[in-house]
Amino acid sequence: MKLVTFSTGTTSRVGVANAGVVCDASELLPSGAGLLEVIEGWDELGPALRERTVALPTLPLDSVELLAPIPTPRRNIFCVGKNYREHVAEFGRSGYDTPGRCKQLPAKPILFSKATTSVTGPTAAIAPHRGVTSELDYEGELCVIIGRGGRGITREHAYKHVWGYTIVNDVTARDLQRDHKQWLLGKSLDTHCPLGPYAVTADEITDVTALQIETTVNDERRQFAPVKDLIFDIPELIVTLSAGITLLPGDLIATGTPAGVGIGFDPPKFLTSGDLVEVSITGLGRLSNRIA
């Protein structure tokens, strides 16, 4: 199923999207439940959504505003740095990496986070934050949505903890990332985490490694790579994170970005007001966000 969080102008609701329409699932859910609560109660709510939404009224998808599937995550988004080989190389060449680590493949996953307040919708404007940053960049990524939580998850059982997938644009203020010598600040500015448009249940994706990520800026293709090119795959990321941290239902894991980001060009191609950044992944839809 493709689940969405949408607004008709007054309140946000959970819906099931299919073939250009969205079915309002509110009457099948506990009062006030958002997608986070749906994921938490999936064993009970999932079958009801599968069996009964077909009988509910629908709205044209283009008549509603799609919000981020989880507009306010319960905690920061887990993110992975330098998880595609060619991106490691371009990041090393860029001069924005720690000198001692330039072009070296990481021995273990590099993990950081984005603040929950950076999350925004799949068509919302991205704030340029002039005066704070002048080097705005994009990073199209596959995002894993955790279903069943847990700690000490094994590789063998990792996919049993995946509820589904969505798309994230890990918008980055490169100058903040460089100058502060850490990634949290440069990754966490408000509106710098477009998410969505759908939260797609894992059973819809027969082979996640076969998915293709594509990012365009003003219709120019910048990134294009399969998920199979990840250095550390999804089970390894779940094993690493859960070794000492309890993963919770609805946790988001942005798995890393392929080569082709703005700092990979000479000279760098930073985003400016009016630029349209679109990130698409096979079967997961498309983010389409313009720089305000």
Listed by start position, the domains of the chain span 2-67, 77-290
Residue 101 binned pLDDT confidence (cut-offs 50, 70, 90): low
What are the beta bridge partners of residue 175? none
Least confident of 60-64, 76-80, 91-95, 262-266: 91-95
Tell me what the mean pLDDT of segment 130-154 comes to.
98
For 107-146, b/e burial (b = at least 16 CB within 10 A) is eebbbbbbbbebbbbbbbebbbbeeebebbbbbbbbbbbb
pLDDT score of 102 more than 80: no
Please name which of 197, 221, 145, 191 lies closest in space to residue 290, comparing C-alpha atoms: 191
Instruction: Please give the pLDDT value at position 98.
Output: 61
Supply the pTM of this predicted model.
Answer: 0.96
What are the beta bridge partners of residue 214? 224, 280
> What six digits make up the tokens of 208?
């996640």
What 3-state class would DSSP assign to 97?
coil
Residue 206 binned pLDDT confidence (cut-offs 50, 70, 90): very high
Instruction: Please give the pLDDT value at position 59.
Output: 94
> What six digits make up the tokens of 207?
């082979």
Given a contact cutoff of 8 angstroms between Cβ atoms, the answer to whether 259 and 225 are in contact is yes
Rg (CA), the chain: 18
Is 3.90.850.10 the CATH classification of the domain at 77-290? Answer: yes
Please name which of 113, 167, 136, 110 lies closest in space to residue 288, comparing C-alpha atoms: 167
